[in-house]
Structure 1
C-alpha cells in the first residue's frame, strides 16, 4: 500500500508495527484484536482461524484475521507456546471521548520467557528466561536465568564456555537472550528455546547492567549480591532486565533477591547424566511415566513440585542439609495420619508464588484473588496440624526435625490479608473487573447503596411511595414513569386534601396531577447512574485491594517457600511409604553399601513382585566393579540404580533398598547407551568418546562414575584397548581411584582383577536350560563365563537359520582360537592380546609356555576328599595371603 493511500488507521498501525517488527501485532479495533498483512497470514495458519481480506474489491487487498479481545488469552497462549512474541496494542483512551482516531499503544509484549498467566505455564515446571555472554578476551562468561512468573533468579560465572552451554542445556530455558551475531554452538543444538538476539552495546553494557541491578534490587553496590567480581554474570543479568523493560512496559518489583548459584554446595549433574539416568525425560525425549521425577513426585502443590525438580537437578553436597531434610521426611514417614491430613489440606493451596506475581504486576483476575483467599484459609489449619503433632506425647512425633520446627516458628498465616479478601470479594466474581459484581455487601457503605439501587431499585421506589402515603396521609398516591419526565407521583383530581409543599407539579392531565419531589428526583438520578457508578467504584476498590495485597509480596513468598518445603517433605515420605523405601545413612566417607537395592523406575513399571533386588559394596578394596554378563541381563539397570540412589539420598529422600549406606558424592557421571549426533557429524562412537573424555577430565575422588560398554563402537581390538586404558586411568586418578561401576562385554578385562588394585569382577547371573537362557537378574561375584549373544538374538526373534549358522561360525572361531590359528581373539586368554600380562603376544609359537603359579600346582595336586573343613579354610587363607590380597 503506497504512502499516499494510507488511511489514518493504517498510518497509526504502521507506526506501531515499526517499533515491534519481530512481533505479531494484536491491534485492538472495537471488540476484536485484528492482525494484518504477514502477521495475519502467520496467525491464521498457526491458530487455524479464518484469513479474510480488507478492501476485497480494491487492488490493495489486505490480509487480515482477528480474535475477540475478551477471549484472546487462549490464542496468545497458543502462539507463545510455539515461540512467537505478541505485541498487544490497546486503545488507551475512551472511544466515546476520542476526537478523531482513538489513541493506541502497545501495553505489553508476550514472549515465551516472560509469561505469567496459567494458560502459558506448566504448574510444576519453572519457566526460565536466560541470557548468556562469553568474553573471549577475558576467557570468562556468565549465564543468568530467571523465572519471571515467580520472581526467582540466579546465575553462574565460568572460565569455560562449554560449562555455560552445558548449564544452559540443563536449565532448559524457554527463551534465551544472546549478543547480536552469537549463535548456539552446534553441539548444543538440543537447547529448545526461542533465541532472542540483543545488541551488546545496549543490553549487555556493563555500566547499564550495574545501574539496573542496583535499582531493581534496591542496593547501594553489587557486593551484597556477590556480583562485585563477576563482570560477565552482571552483564547477563543486565541483559535480562533490559529485555524485561522493553517487553513488560511497567515496573517489575516482584523480583526476589538475586543469588548466584554456589556450585560448591551442590552435587553436579551434567545434562548427559540427566538424560542417561532419565531423571526428567525418557531417552525418547518424552516426560512422565518412565522417569525418576514421575516416580518420586507425590507433591500436591505447584511450589512443592517445582522444589522437587530443583532438588533433583541440584542435590546437596554437604551432610548437614541432607540430614536435616532426611529427618523432616522421616517425621512425615512415621506419621501416616498426619501425612494424610496434610495432603488433604495442601490440595486446597494454589500457586502462591505465581498468584502473588500477577497481583504485583497488576495482571491478577478476580479468580486469582479467590484462589489466593482459598490458599490463605488453609494456612492456619496446616500450622495447627503441625503444632498438634509437635506437642504429641508419641515418641515418633516428638522427633520432629529442627528444620521443620524452624519453619513452624516463623509461620505467618497472613490472617489480615485473608480477612481483607474474605470481607471484600464475592465467592463467584465475574471474569473481568470492569463490569461490577465483585464485592460483598457490607464492605463499603457507598457501594452498598449503589448495589441496593442497581439490584433493588424498584423496591426502593416502592418504599419511598409507601413512606409518602403514610407521612402525608395520601392513600391514593401512585407512582409512574415516562421517558420525558422520568419517575413521578400522581394524584387524582378527585383528591381535595392538602398537597405537601415539596411536591412540585410537573404535568396536569384531564383526570390527574403529576408531581415530583427532591427525594424522588435524587433517587431517580441515583438509579439511572447507579450502574455506571457501581462499575466505576468497584473497579477503583478492586485496584485498592490489589495494592493492599501486593504490599505483602514478601510474606507471600516466604509462605510459598514454607508450603513448598512441607509439601516436598511429605511428598518424599508418601513416595517412600507407598514404595517401601528405606532411609539411607549418608556419611562423609567413600563407602557405598546397597543391600537388596532396586531401580525405582523399573520397579514402578514392572511391579515390586517382579523385580529382583541386588546388593553391592564399593569401598577401598572394591573401588571399581567390573560387571559382565549378556545383553538383557540387567547390567545397565544395576549401574543406573546405584547412581539414582546416590542422587536420591543427597536430596534427603529414602531409597529403594533394604538398607543403604552412601558416601557423599560431588558429581555423578553417566556414560550409558548408544546415541549419535549425525547433524553435527558425530557418530555413535564419537559421542561415546566425547562423553568418556569429559568424565576422565572432570571426575574427582568423590565422584561416582557409571560406564556401560565403553569401546563397543569400534573394532574389537581398538575398543578393548580403549576400555582397558580407561579402567587403568580411573584406577590411577584421585590418588587411589574413582568409585566406578564399569559394565562391559570384553571378558578379557576380567583378568584385571588382581592386577589393578581395587578392581573386582561381578556378573549378572544367567542359566542355560535346554538351549535357552534364563536371566536371573542377580549380581554375583566373579566374571561371566560367556556373552550369550546368540541366545539373546534367539530371544529377540532372529530367524532360526541365522541363529543356527551363527552358532556354527562361533564354534569355528573358538576352535581356531584354541588351536592358535587365525586372527580371532581368544575369549579366555587375555594374555595373548593385552600388554602387562605374563605373555605380551611377542613370543613365538614354539616358545615354551610360562610356568604355572605355585598355587595352581598345589591345587592340581590337592586331594580334595582328604581335606577336613578346617584344613580347607586354612589352605584357602594361605593361598589368599600368597596372592597378596589383603
Structure 2
C-alpha cells in the first residue's frame, strides 16, 4: 500500500518509524495534523473532532485530528500533562519556494521531563527530569536531576535498599520529578512512581555505560575531568545517571542546551534526611491527600515575590542543613530583615518587578524566547539594578553574598530597549517587534511598505471618483493579492481597462497594470520586512545567549534575597522567634505551635512546651484522649525542627534545637492492597526503616505503634520498639511516642530516659473538654465514646457502648441471659497466667475512633454487641 500513499503520508510514516513512542505533530500549512492511532489518542485526550482522510498502509480510511499551529503549545501541554511524548515535525523548507512536496523533519521531542516553553510549565516549581542508575550488584543507586527550563543539574548517590527502593521514592517525594529515565525499573518501583505521577521512560542501555556517560559530560562542559564538579571519583553510578540525563535531554531537544553550565553533588552529610513517608506525614510540601499546597508548611512560609524565590524556598524545605554555621548565616539574614522593615518592604517592592530570569535565560539559550520574554527580562534586570543600589553595605554575609552575585546588565537593558518595542506581540509572525531606529535597512523597508499602503488608499479613492462607484474597495487576499471589488449593482460602471480576476457571490474582482505593479512592490517589501525582523531578532537572541550564565547566577541570587525577606515577613506576621541552633542532642521549645494548624484556626491554638534530651528525657510517652492534640503536638515539634534547620524563625516563644540528622515519622494507618500489604505490614515496614536507620541525632515521631494487630501482639511490639529506641547506652534518638497501650506508662519506672506525659482533659459530668495542654504524668482514658458522640453517632448507640465498657471494666456479664462472663485482660502480671481471650475486649481495644466515620463507628458498636452475646433487637 505504501506506493499508493501520498508523499506526505510517506513522510509521516518515516517520522513515526523514527519515533514510535511519540505522538507526531505533523505540520501541514496552518495546522499540525495527527494521523492513525495518534489521532485517536489526541481526539480522546483533547476532546477534539476525529475525522478521516486518505488511506493508511492497509488501505483503510486514515483517522485524522488536527490543531491550529498558533495554538499548538496549549494542546501539546495538555498531552504532555497526561504523560504523552510529542514529536514536533516541521516544514523545514519554505512552501512558496519549493515545487512539489515540502521537506519535513522532527525538530523537537517534548516529554514530561523536558518541557521548556513557558506556556507548558504552568508553575514556578522546578520541573525535573530524573535519571536512575544502579550498579551491577544493585548495592548503589545513582540519581541525576535536571531542570532544562533553568539549567539546574545535580546528582546524588545512595545505598540501595531493596526492590521497592525506598531511597528512590524519598528523593521522588523530595524533588517531584515529572519523568524518570532508566534502562529498567523494578515493577514494584515503577508502580509506585506511576502512583506519584512520574512518567517512567525506558532509555537505551548504551547511554548509561560509564565511558559514554562520562564522555557526554566532559564534552558538554568542555573539561578534562569531573573533579571540579566533585564527582571524579567514588560516584560512578551517579555519573552514569547524569550522563544519560544529559544525552536524553540533548537528543529530545535537538540542541546542545548551552545553559546547562554546571553539575553539583548533593551529599547526605550536608542535609537532613527526610524520607517520603515523613514528607507526606508532616505535609511539608503537599498534603496527604495530594490536593495542592494549601494546608502544607510550604503554603504557610511561601510569601515570596518571585518564581526564583519560590523554587529556592521549596528546595530548602526538603533539604534542611546540618551545619550550625550555615543555619546561623541564614538566620542572621532573616533577623536583619525582621529588624529593618523599610529595607525589607523596599526590597519586596523591587522584587515584584522580577520575572522568572532563570527560565527566560533558558529559553534564550534554547532559542525559543519570545519578544515579550525580552521585555520581561529587561524590566527584571532594571529591578535588579535597583536592588543592587538599594540594599545597604552593612548587611549580614548571606545577604552580602547574594548582592555580590547580582550582575550589572546595563548594556543588556540598553540593547533590548533600543531593539524591541514597548509592547511587542506574542511572536514574530506578523512583525512589529523591532523598534524603529534600530536597523536602517528595516526602517527603509517599512517606509517602502508604508508608502505602498498609502498608495493603495489613494488609488481606491481616485478610482471611486473616476468610475462613480462609491462602494468600490481595494482589498488584499492571500491567494489573489490586491484586487478591486465591485458589487453586482455597479458592474455596469466598470471601465473597460479593468481586468476581471474572479467572480464572487456579491460581485466581481478586478485588477489593473498599475495595481499589479504596486502589489509586487508591496508584497516583496512585506516579505523582506518579516524576514529581516526575524533575522534581527535571531541576532539579538544570539547576543543575549552570551549572558546566560550571568542571568542564571543573578536569578539564583534574587531567589535567595526573596526567601530571606519572605521568611522575615512570615516571622513578624505570625510572631515567630529566632531558634538557637546547637550541636548537642537537646530540643527545648517553649510555647510551641503547629505552624499550619494555627494558621487554619487563628486565635484558637494552645501552645505547648517540649524538652527532649538524647541523654536525659530522651523518650516521651504521650497518652491521652483521642482528639486531645497528641498528633498535632508531635508534628509541631518535627516541623519546628525542620523550620529551624532551613534557617527560618519558628512558631514558639523560645526554641533551642540540637542538630537533627533525620526526622522519622510513623503515623496514621493505611494499607497497600495493590501489592498485597496489609495495614499492619505497612506499619511494620515503616517501623523497620526507622529502627534500621536511626542514629543518636535523629528525631523519631511514633503514633500508635502496634495498633494494626491484636492487643497482646501490638503491646509487645510497641514495648519492644520503645526499648530498642531507648537503648542500653547513655543516649539515643529523641523520641515522641504516642500510644493507647496504657500499660506502657510503667516503662518509665524501668528505663531511666523515659518520661510520661499526657494531654489534659476536663470532665464536667458527662461532658469532656479537651484542654490541648501537655502535662507530666500519664492517663489511662481515651474517651472514645465521647469522640463517637462528637462524630454524630446516634445517642442510643453511644449509651449502649458506655454500658458495654462498664460491663467489661467490671468483669460483668452482658445483659443477655446465659451470656458469657468477661474478665478484663491483664497484660502485665508478676505471675502471668494464660490470658482469657475475650473477643469483645480484643475487638474494642483494636478500635481507633480517630479513623472511623460515623457509619463505621455504628457498625463497630453492633459488632461489639454480637460479640458480647446480645441478640439483635435486645434491650
Q: Is the 8 A contact 1:591 1:617 kept in 2?
A: yes
Task: Please give the alpha-carbon distance, in whole angstroms, between the structure 2 residues aligned to 1:598 and 1:660.
Answer: 11
Q: CA deviation at 1:529?
A: 3.6
- CA distance in 2 between partners of 1:556 and 1:303 (Å): 12
Match of 2:415 in 1: 420
Whether the 8 Å CA contact 2:138–2:160 is kept in 1: the answer is: no
Matched residue, 1:530: 525
Deviations 1:402-455 (A, max 9, x none): 221222234323111111111110011122224321111222222222233333
1:751 is aligned to: 746
Cα distance in 1 between the residues matched to 2:82 and 2:181: 17
* Partner of residue 222, structure 1: 226
Alignment partner, residue 172 of structure 1: 176
Task: Determine the C-alpha separation between the residues in 2 that align with 1:412 and 1:739.
Answer: 45
Q: Which position in structure 1 is the counterpart of 2:403?
A: 408
Residue number in structure 2 paired with 1:435? 430
Q: Which residue of 2 aligns with 1:771?
A: 766
Alpha carbons 2:407, 2:551 under 8 Å: kept: no
Matches within 5 A, 1:476-491: none
CA distance in 1, matches of 2:288, 2:726: 30
Kindly indicate whether residue 43 of structure 2 is the aligned counterpart of residue 48 of structure 1: no
Tell me, yes or no, if structure 1 residue 793 matches structure 2 residue 788.
Answer: yes
> What's the CA shift for 1:326?
0.4
1:270 is aligned to 2:275: yes
Q: Decide which of 322, 331, 341 is 1:326's aligned counterpart.
A: 331
Q: Could you tell me which of 825, 828, 832 is aligned with 1:841? A: 832
Judged with a 3 Å threshold, the aligned counterparts in structure 2 of structure 1 residues 187 and 714 are, in CA distance, closer, same or farther, namely farther
Choose the corresponding residue for 2:192, options 173, 188, 195: 188
- Aligned equivalents of 1:524, 1:805: Cα separation in 2: 95
Cα displacement string for residues 219-248 of structure 1 (whole angstroms, at most 9, x for unaligned residues): 101232232322221221122122123211
Question: For 1:412, what is the secondary structure of its paired residue?
Answer: coil
Q: Shift of residue 461 of structure 1?
A: 12
CA distance in 2, matches of 1:186, 1:531: 54
User: Any idea what SS the aligned residue of 2:665 has?
Assistant: strand
Instruction: Point out the more displaced range, 2-11 or 205-214.
Output: 2-11
Q: Distance in 2 between matches of 1:217 and 1:445?
A: 39
- Alpha carbons of structure 1 residues 413 and 123: separation in structure 2 relative to 1, 3 Å: farther
1:7 aligned residue: 6
1:385 matches 2:390: yes
1:675 paired residue among 657, 670, 675? 670
Could you tell me how far 1:635 is from its partner in structure 2? Answer: 0.1
Q: Which residue of 1 aligns with 2:239?
A: 234
Residue of structure 1 in register with 2:67 after alignment: 67
Q: Is the 8 A contact 2:616 2:731 kept in 1?
A: no
Structure 1 residue 12: Cα displacement: 1.6
Judged with a 3 Å threshold, the aligned counterparts in structure 2 of structure 1 residues 734 and 232 are, in CA distance, closer, same or farther, namely farther
Check if 1:205 corresponds to 2:209.
yes
Give the 3-state SS of the residue equivalent to 1:650 in structure 2. Answer: helix
Q: Which range is displaced more, 279-288 or 56-65?
A: 56-65
Shift in Å, 1:537:
1.6
Alignment of 1:102-121 (within 5 A): 102-121=102-121
Question: Residue 143 of structure 1 contacts residue 168 of structure 1 at CA under 8 Å; is this kept in 2?
Answer: no
CA–CA distance in structure 2, aligned partners of residues 123 and 256 of structure 1:
23
Residue of structure 2 in register with 1:698 after alignment: 693
1:817 deviates by: 9.7
> Which residue number in structure 1 is paired with residue 818 of structure 2?
none
* Corresponding residue number in structure 2 for 1:610: 604
Deviation per residue, 1:107-152 (Å, 9 max, x gap): 1111110001122214321111111122343622211111111111
CA contact (8 A) 2:583 2:659 kept: yes
Q: Secondary structure at the match of 1:610?
A: coil
Instruction: Tell me, in whole angstroms, the C-alpha distance in 2 between the residues paired with 1:247 and 1:184.
Output: 28
Name 2:294's counterpart in structure 1. Answer: 289
Please say which of residues 425-434 and 353-362 is displaced more in the overlay: 425-434
Name 2:706's counterpart in structure 1.
711
Instruction: Tell me, yes or no, if the aligned pair for 1:701 and 1:733 is still in contact at 8 Å.
Output: no
Q: Larger deviation: 334-343 or 100-109?
A: 334-343
> What's the C-alpha RMSD, in Å, of the aligned pairs?
2.7
Change (3 A) 1:239 1:765: same
* Residue 761 to residue 8, structure 1, CA distance change in 2 (3 Å): same
What whole-Å deviation, never above 9, does each CA across 1:510-538 have from its counterpart, x for those lacking one? xxxxxxxxxxxx99997664322222221
When residues 40 and 702 of structure 1 are mapped into structure 2, their CA distance, relative to the original with a 3 A threshold, is same
SS of residue matched to 1:107: strand
Could you tell me which residue of structure 2 aligns to residue 159 of structure 1? Answer: 159
Distance 1:152-1:56 versus aligned 2 partners, 3 A rule? closer
User: Out of 558, 562, 577, which is 1:582 matched to?
Assistant: 577
CA 1:456–1:440: 2 relative to 1, 3 Å? farther
SS in 1 for 2:174: helix
Correspondence 1:89 to 2:84: no
Q: In structure 1, how many angstroms separate the alpha carbons of the residues matched to 2:795 and 2:291?
A: 35
Structure 2 unaligned runs (5+)? 458-473, 477-481, 483-516, 814-820, 837-875
Structure 1 residues 817 and 627, CA gap change in structure 2 (3 angstroms): farther
Partner of 2:505: none
Provide the rounded CA distance (Å) in 1 between the counterparts of 2:729 and 2:6.
75
Per-residue CA deviations over 1:611-635 (Å, capped at 9, x if unaligned) read: 1111111123311111100110000
1:320-340 CA-to-partner distances (Å, cap 9, x unmatched) read 110000010111111222222
| Residue aligning to 1:247 | 252
Contact 1:142 1:164 in 2 (8 A): no
Distance 1:116 1:843 in 2: 68
Deviation per CA, 1:292-321, whole angstroms, max 9, x where unpaired?
111111011111001111001100011111
**Matching of residues 804-819 of structure 1 within 5 Å:** 804-816=799-811
Q: Which residue of 2 aligns with 1:503?
A: none
Q: What is the aligned residue count?
A: 767
Q: Structure 1 residues 442, 823: closer, same or farther in 2, change over 3 A?
A: same
Once the two structures are overlaid, the 10-residue window that deviates more, 131-140 or 202-211, is 131-140
Q: CA separation of 1:357/1:693 partners in 2, compared to 1, >3 Å: closer, same or farther?
A: same
Q: Give the Å deviation of 1:831.
A: 4.3
Which runs of no fewer than 5 residues in structure 1 stay unpaired? 391-397, 463-480, 487-521, 833-838, 846-886
- 1:335 matched to which residue of 2? 340
**Bigger mean CA offset, 645-654 vs 115-124:** 115-124
Contact map agreement 1:359 1:546 (CA 8 A) in 2: yes
800-809 or 597-606: bigger deviation: 800-809
Match of 1:310 in 2: 315
Q: Conserved in 1, the CA contact under 8 Å of 2:334 and 2:648?
A: yes
SS in structure 2 of the partner of residue 350 of structure 1: coil
Q: Are the counterparts in 1 of residues 453 and 522 from structure 2 also a CA contact under 8 Å?
A: no
Q: Deviation digits for residues 71-126 of structure 1, max 9, x if unmatched?
A: 11100111011111111111111112213211100011111100011222143211
Structure with higher Rg: it is 1
**Are residues 1:345 and 2:350 paired?**
yes
Q: Which residue does the alignment assign to 1:147?
A: 147
The 1:844–1:19 alpha-carbon spacing in structure 2 relative to 1, beyond 3 Å, is closer
The answer to whether the 8 Å contact 1:434/1:536 transfers is no
**Cα displacement string for residues 701-754 of structure 1 (whole angstroms, at most 9, x for unaligned residues):** 111101101111111111111111111111107742210011111111111113
SS at match of 1:531: helix
Would you say the 8 A contact 2:697–2:732 is kept in 1? no
- What secondary structure does 1:592 align onto? strand
- 2:862 is matched with none
* Contact 1:600/1:656 (8 A) holds in 2: yes
CA distance in 1, matches of 2:197, 2:835: 59
Q: Relative to structure 1, is the Cα distance of residues 432 and 582 closer, same or farther in structure 2, using a 3 angstrom cutoff?
A: same
For the 8 Å contact 1:817–1:825, the answer to whether it is kept is no
Q: 1:817 to 1:785 in 2, by over 3 A?
A: farther
Aligned to 1:477: none
Q: Cα distance 1:810–1:279, how it changes in 2: closer, same or farther (>3 A)?
A: same
Q: CA deviation at 1:168?
A: 3.3
**Contact 1:676/1:683 (<8 A) preserved:** yes
Q: Secondary structure at the match of 1:62?
A: strand
Q: Are the aligned partners of 2:220 and 2:256 in contact in 1 as well (CA < 8 Å)? A: no
TM-score by length of 1: 0.83
Tell me how far apart the structure 2 counterparts of residues 315 and 336 of structure 1 sit (CA, whole Å).
27
